[in-house]
Copies of this chain bind each other. A is one copy, B any other.
Amino acid sequence: MFSKACEYGIRAAVYVALQSLEGRRVSVNEIAEEIDSPIAFTAKILQQLTRSKVIHSVKGPTGGFEIERTDMDTVKLSMIVHAIDGDDIYVGCGLGLKECNAKKPCPLHDKFVAIRTDLKKMLESTSLYELATGLEVGLTYLKR
């Protein structure tokens, strides 16, 4: 469904949010450790998330990644997915046709649109805050 990069990206963003709720800024190393992902690759993904303003980065000692409380509500999963995987999920035919739409649909078009609409709705309505608080109260996990 999502690329590896996107999976790491979501997990990383949620972890950053969780720690920001505690007032902590976190380093790439800590993030990679805590979400169980390859360090250098995760660093690249964090750069993408920073460039697309999903999270905020601070250089130098005591630096790291953080996200403001208000942004946790604004930032939806859809933004993270878009920042990393582009609009693959939103655009494009399920069977890979270049031209596939209501006028000239592939055999799977309608059924596919239905599912993708649900997915899109889910991604657009789920905020980083929602995901982080689930973790905070110990209902969900990011590792293993």
Chain A positions near chain B (C-beta within 8 angstroms): 1-2, 4, 7-8, 10-11, 14, 77, 89, 94-100, 104-109, 111, 114-115, 118-119, 122, 126, 131-132, 134-135, 139-144
Q: Is the CB of B94 within 8 A of A1?
A: yes
> Which residues of chain B have C-beta atoms less than 8 A from A100's C-beta?
141
A-B contacts, 8 of them at CB < 8 A, read: A1-B89, A10-B108, A11-B106, A98-B144, A106-B140, A107-B142, A115-B118, A118-B118
In the complex the two chains form, what is the Cα distance from A139 to B103 in whole Å?
Answer: 9
Q: Which of A98, A107, A135 has the most chain B CB within a 10 Å cutoff?
A: A107
> Which residues of chain B have C-beta atoms less than 8 A from A96's C-beta?
2, 4, 7-8, 11
Q: How many chain copies? A: 2
In the complex the two chains form, what is the Cα distance from A131 to B105 in whole Å?
Answer: 12
Q: Is the CB of A141 within 8 A of B94?
A: no
Q: Which B residue sits closest to A140, measured CB to CB?
A: B107
> Which residues of chain B have C-beta atoms less than 8 A from A118's C-beta?
114-115, 118
Q: Is the CB of B106 within 8 A of A141?
A: yes
In the complex, besides A2-B94, A2-B96, A97-B143, 17 extra interface pairs with C-beta distance below 8 angstroms are A7-B95, A8-B96, A10-B95, A77-B108, A95-B142, A99-B144, A104-B144, A106-B141, A106-B142, A107-B131, A107-B132, A107-B135, A111-B126, A114-B122, A115-B118, A115-B119, A115-B122
